[in-house]
Amino acid sequence: MRQTIQKHLYCANLYVRLLKHWAGMLFGKSYWHAQQGLGRQFIPGQLLGYYNDLTGKTNWAGPVDENGLPLNELISGTYIHFPTTLLQKALGHWDRWLESKQADDDERAAFLKIAEWALRSQDASGGWAIWPVLGLSYASPYSAMTQGEAVSVLVRAATLTQDVSYSEAARRAIGLMLTTVERGGACRSTSEGMVLEEAPLVPHNTMLNGWIFALYGLYDYLLLAKVCQQDAEWAERALRGSLQALLAQMPLFSAGFWSYYDTSGNLASPFYQQLHIAQLRALEITFPEHAEEIGRWRLLFGRQAESRLNKARAVALKAYQKLRRPPEVVLR
């Protein structure tokens, strides 16, 4: 009886938090849904600004620890350091520092504080185990998206401080990301190439945005390797293969009138539709040899996003999907 009551209370709290989450998104007041267009300091082929604009992630108004690092709250009331929250905030601070023409010491310090946390909290396998932190048991404790974003932070810290600890940590993180899920990593080998999995589920369910964030990290590592004159042929092969696989699987993310969030048929929210467009634009200008093909998908998703009818249809169907199958965790 007690367990039944606790289960009902948990579900009620989950739906309340989910509805608040949606309300903040609809009224433009959600920290989680600040627009992430093309990075304002991003220059292809250079280890400068990040690919997407994450500067909105610096406006954290929630609880922090004794060092000023953000704490996320689970439905249980437990406060955690959630790596993805921290890493995206760091990349936002990095871009704000670049916007200041590298004059804002507060933005620089905020970036380095999180980079140092990432260095300290990396485990012996080279990763940040995010799913156990959320109480979720997946095929692997790691996420390719989080690994990629960690690498993007670490390589920038390496260039800023000239501390080899950061570049070594980035190499370990890439190594784990390119390890198959079956062996405890975050990728899946297919006939089309390597798929970088945000969530290593069984059966597999690939998230488009997470795959692209992981590709950014892989590309950033290659940029650092070239600067340091390190052998990274293995990483370059992985990047080219994974990019080819992404292009081959792009039809799986098309609903005909909108984009899918993942390969299991969950529609993207309007926020993720716009994120997909911005991410594809970053890939388009980073990889000119694939620009035509990537550009076709970007333009298609862009036309869909401009249609009020398509948007209304997507919002209605997305709401139905969320209410029918609510997420297992909603962070605050």
pLDDT higher than threshold 50 for residue 191? yes
Condensed to tens digits (0 to 9), the pLDDT of residues 35-56 reads 999 999 999 999 999 999 999 9
pLDDT of residue 16: 59
Is 300 strand, coil or helix?
A: helix
Q: Which amino acid is at 117?
A: W
Name the residue among 247, 147, 273, 251 with its Cα closest to residue 198. Answer: 147
pLDDT of residue 327: 77
pLDDT higher than threshold 90 for residue 33? no
| Residue 157 contacts residue 91 (beta carbons within 8 Å) | no
Task: Count helices and strands (H / E) in the chain.
Answer: 11, 4
Confidence of residue 3 (pLDDT cuts 50, 70, 90): low
**DSSP secondary structure of 19-61:** HHHHHHHHTT--GGG----B-TT--TTSSSS-SB--GGGG---
The HSE-up count of residue 244 (CA atoms within 13 Å, CB side) is 12
pLDDT of residue 4: 54
Q: Which segment of 136-140, 188-192, 286-290, 328-332 scores lowest on mean pLDDT? A: 328-332
Architecture of domain 2-324: Alpha/alpha barrel (1.50)
Confidence of residue 187 (pLDDT cuts 50, 70, 90): very high
Q: What is the chain's mean pLDDT, rounded?
A: 91
Residue 253 CB neighbour total at 10 angstroms: 22
